[in-house]
A and B are shown apart, each in its own frame.
Chain A
Amino acid sequence: MALTVLLGVFILGLMIGVPVAVTLGLASFAYLSYVGIPVVVMPQKMYAGMDVFVLLSIPGFILAGNLMNMGGITERIIRFANALVGWIRGGLGLTNVGASMLFGGITGTAVADAASIGGVMIPGMKKAGYPADFSAAVTAASSTVGPIIPPSVPMIIVGALSGISVGQMFLAGAIPGILMGFAMMVTTYLIARKKNFPKQPWLGFTEISKSFGGAFWAIAMTGIIIYGLLSGLATPTETAIVASVYAFVVGAFVYGDLPLKAVPKILINSAISSAAILVLVGFANVFGWILVSERIPQAIADAVLTITDNPILVVLIINILLLFVGMFMETIAALIILFVPLLSLAQAVGIEPLHFATFAVLNLMIGLTTPPLGVCLFVCSNIARVPLTPVVKAIFPFLITNIIVLLLVSYIPALATWLPSVMLK
């Protein structure tokens, strides 16, 4: 009965539209009151949930991404990507995907990617003769690589939930992110050939080197982050703050596109975004503590294992569940609620936590481009000024591509675990 109270309040709260963090708090409060546990445990658990070393790096990475985003990187990255792949059939579509991959190494948020790259690329593609729905679809689909290629806030959250280091998580996302990007480029090329989309003229190696010179300072931030984490010279928090200072210097003084008066606003908005994540983590820690004390993760694992203990089928069940939840719930909220219960199930059939964490994040990213709650889908159809339905149809081939990559990463653990095992020996 106590469990019914917990889950009943939780589901009702979500349906009413109460913020997920508050819903977790309401359900926990109802449960504790019902079973007679003093509610003073809630502030204690909230504090413990937010006071986690790994979470300290979140505001820094969000700030670094926002500073770079406002500091004039978009055009430079697009120019470089266009010089590299624009001459191939469907070149602007390929440029779009390539730019998202580079952008993902800097900001790590899909929505910022969709808005920034989409703001430039979608009008450009329409002007060059690409259909508006395809232009919006390729932008939305490719923006999902952002939180998979390091740096990535969802990967930090998973690190906090599982005890895996941020460096390991970031490296685990690198190959799947690149694989996803290249798979989308192949899909774009095949569609472009079938529909005879235009291509750009070959601009030569001079343009590649010139545009690389422009994009270099932005792309170098990915290198600084990876080096900071792998060298052991800096903690993730220090790396994130140094990356923020670097982004500020590049945006304000190297590129000169970041107005100094905009910096306080960027700082404050980054702090608010970080606070939202921390409040969610705080309430979720109470909820998670109740789930563990009620042995829910174990019960879920046992329930699935009575149906099958075949790892292939269990991975499939986990993926279907995550894809379904990802359609309705924001990525970080879904991760915080589902990660620990599903990790028990994954471990029960011998899946490594690092491998599970990687395909769980990748899976939930796909939800950003599926109706009814695909945020990137809405952003891109707004920019393209087309209704949602044609964009949903146009994104279908990319969804299939992303699901194929998801299955590859789910069933070939080395795609996630090999790089961390080599780089972090």
Chain B
Amino acid sequence: MEKLENTLVLCFRVLIGVSFAVLIAAVLVQVVGRLTSNSPIWTEELTRFALLYVAAIGAGLSFRSGDLVNVDIFCEAFGDAWSRRLRFVSAILTATLSAVLIFPAWQYVKIGQLQTSPAMQMPMHLVHFSVLALLIILFLFSALRAVSIALYGQEGRPVGLD
């Protein structure tokens, strides 16, 4: 279980790093283009798409780290055993919401098949796919937390940024 989680975390950390690097590179090309009066038209679009993938890939990692903030004052007030149960319920609710939205998100991806982006001529379903990816990844990490609490006796608290 721990090995699976570590592997997932490593994969998504690499992917989010790559997405952010693409975003930075696109903006830098834009800046250099501006200075040399030869600004490509695709950079702004690529920056936007890269950011959407940063959000999608980071959804699970931010759930795990606790960056996806919650109000824990009430659940922590009930003592350790109850707050652990509530963290389990919270993880289940997160996984359930993500799961029920996966099919609507897939429908949204299909809508994008009919469109292309203006500058890069990229099929928009590849961009809309970021929302589907966000929900799948959020489902993965919240389900993992629920399983780790229920079956492996873990506390299920956010672990912070590595």
Contacts and interface: CB of A to CB of B under 8 A. Distances in A.
Interface string A233-245: 1100110011011
Given A43-B101, A242-B31, A373-B73, A50 B67 contact: no
Contacts of B104: 38-40, 42-43
A47 to B, nearest CB: 5
Contacts of A60: 24, 27
A29 B51 contact: no
Contact of A16 (B20, B28, B86): B86
B70 to A, nearest CB: 5
A290 to B, nearest CB: 15
B109 to A, nearest CB: 8
Contacts of B68: 19-22, 276, 279-280
A88 interface: no
Interface in A42-100: 42-44, 46-47, 50-51, 53, 55-56, 59-60, 63
B94 A15 contact: no
A26 B97 contact: yes
B80 to A, nearest CB: 14
B71 interface: yes
Contact of B31 (A53, A238, A279): A238
A2 interface: no
Contacts of A39: 100-101, 104
Which one of A16, A20, A46, A272 has the highest number of Cβ atoms from chain B below 10 Å of its Cβ? A272
Given A16-B86, A333-B69, A273 B62 contact: yes
B31 A234 contact: yes
Interface string B109-139: 0000000000000000000101110110010
Where chain A touches its partner, the secondary structure class is helix
Contact of B16 (A42, A47, A237, A268): A268
A117 B132 CA distance: 41
A15 B74 CA distance: 6
B83 to A, nearest CB: 8
A29 to B, nearest CB: 6
Given A50-B55, A241-B24, A276 B69 contact: yes
Contacts of A264: 17
Contact of A279 (B13, B51, B65, B134): B134
Contacts of A271: 16-17, 19-20, 54, 58
B150 interface: no
B105 interface: yes
B34 A59 contact: no
Contacts of A282: 55, 131, 134
A196 interface: no
B31 A17 contact: no
Nearest to A244: B24
A199 to B, nearest CB: 38
B97 A22 contact: yes
Given A50-B55, A56-B48, A275 B27 contact: no
Interface in B70-109: 70-76, 83, 86-87, 89-90, 93-94, 97, 100-101, 104-105, 107-108
B58 A16 contact: no
A11 to B, nearest CB: 10
Nearest to A234: B31
A18 B101 contact: no
B1 interface: no
Nearest to B23: A59
Contact of B65 (A14, A22, A272, A333): A272
B55 A13 contact: no
Nearest to A330: B69
B47 interface: yes
A269 B162 contact: yes
B16 A272 contact: yes
Interface in A206-239: 233-234, 237-238
A5 B30 CA distance: 46
Nearest to B106: A43
A267 B20 contact: yes
A8 interface: no
Contacts of A267: 17, 20-21
B146 interface: no
Contacts of A372: 73
Contacts of B134: 46, 279, 282
A328 interface: yes
15 contacts: A15-B75, A22-B138, A42-B101, A43-B108, A50-B52, A51-B48, A60-B24, A265-B162, A270-B20, A271-B16, A272-B161, A273-B67, A275-B62, A276-B65, A276-B68
Given A237-B47, A276-B62, 12 more contacts: A26-B93, A38-B104, A40-B107, A42-B101, A42-B104, A43-B108, A46-B131, A46-B134, A271-B17, A271-B54, A272-B65, A276-B68
The 5 A-B pairs of least Cβ separation, nearest first, read: A275-B58, A278-B55, A276-B62, A276-B67, A17-B75
